[in-house]
């Protein structure tokens, strides 16, 4: 049983938030709330929201705060969040962090810890542009560091692996710029309220996971 179970995973794209979420979820019964996954599901379903989000996502820009905050607020009312949750990729702006506080208060939930995933920029670019994602279970692989056993096939569920359209070099660079401008101010925000813990996410997966467990049980 983790000491901290209502979690925010904060960090630039490619830092391993999704990868370590996946590992943690094998050991702990937490709800996984990835705003990127929710938006990609909207795109796949061809909804109006999906259509407007796709244009922004393909340029590496953020979807408007209120839209993502409403999605998360609705998700936090669900029963499976009672046992804890990982907010993966949300909040991404200070305005979203404030909307999260409101939504959490309404459902009687509090954030226990914000984990900052820290990794050097060149590694992030390498990881993003070589990333492969499973269409079915969303697991991540990497053409350089974490190849699947069979080309193009997910080791976990047999689903098809694909390259996300926003993992091209140009969009990856834009996403990192957007992170610096709009998301990095959250580091100060969560340091001020004492919730922030940082892990070195340039480490290999097993060592990164050990570092994550250490901060969640501190």
| Residue 139 lies near ligand AMP (rule: CB under 6 A) | no
Catalytic site residue from 92, 113, 127, 138? 92
Confirm whether 175 is a catalytic residue: yes
For the CB of residue 204, give the shortest distance to ligand AMP in the complex, in Å. 21
Confirm whether 121 is a catalytic residue: no
Residues 6 or more apart whose Cβ sits within 8 Å of residue 21: 9, 32, 34, 86, 88
Confirm whether 40 is a catalytic residue: no
Selected binder of ligand AMP within 36, 84, 141, 196 (CB under 6 A): 36
Complex with ligand AMP: residue 136 or 217, whichever CB lies closer: 136
For the CB of residue 3, give the shortest distance to ligand AMP in the complex, in Å. 26
Selected binder of ligand AMP within 6, 19, 21, 35 (CB under 6 A): 35
Binding segment (CB under 6 A) for ligand AMP, from list 56-64, 97-105, 191-199, 203-211: 56-64
Catalytic site residue from 26, 164, 177, 205? 164
- Paired tokens of 66: 């209120």
**DSSP code, position 183:** I
Residues 6 or more apart whose Cβ sits within 8 Å of residue 2: 28, 84, 213, 216, 217
- Paired tokens of 111: 């954030």
- Paired tokens of 40: 């990609």
Binding segment (CB under 6 A) for ligand AMP, from list 44-52, 62-70, 112-120, 149-157: 62-70
Residues 6 or more apart whose Cβ sits within 8 Å of residue 31: 75, 78, 80, 81, 83, 84, 85, 86
Q: How far apart are CA 66 and CA 49, in angstroms?
A: 12
Complex with ligand AMP: residue 35 or 129, whichever CB lies closer: 35
By annotation, the residues acting in catalysis are 17, 92, 131, 164, 175
């Amino acid at each position: 049983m983790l000491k901290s179970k209502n979690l925010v995973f904060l960090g630039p794209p490619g830092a391993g938030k999704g990868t370590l979420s996946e590992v943690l979820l094998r050991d702990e019964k937490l709800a996984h709330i990835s705003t990127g996954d929710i938006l990609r599901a909207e795109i796949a379903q061809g909804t109006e929201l999906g259509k407007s989000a796709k244009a922004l996502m393909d340029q590496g820009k953020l979807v408007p705060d209120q839209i993502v905050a409403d999605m998360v607020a609705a998700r936090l009312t669900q029963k499976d969040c009672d046992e804890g949750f990982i907010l993966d990729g949300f909040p991404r702006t200070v305005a979203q962090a404030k909307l999260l506080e409101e939504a959490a208060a309404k459902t009687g939930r509090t954030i226990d810890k914000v984990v900052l995933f820290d990794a050097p920029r060149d590694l992030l670019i390498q990881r993003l542009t070589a990333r492969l994602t499973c269409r079915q279970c969303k697991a991540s692989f990497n053409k350089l560091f974490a190849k699947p056993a069979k080309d193009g096939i997910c080791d976990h569920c047999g689903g098809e692996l694909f390259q996300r359209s926003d993992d091209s070099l140009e969009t990856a660079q834009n996403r990192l710029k957007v992170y610096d401008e709009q998301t990095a101010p959250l580091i100060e925000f969560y340091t001020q309220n004492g919730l922030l813990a940082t892990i070195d996410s340039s480490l290999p997966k097993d060592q990164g996971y050990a570092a994550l467990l250490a901060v969640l049980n501190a």
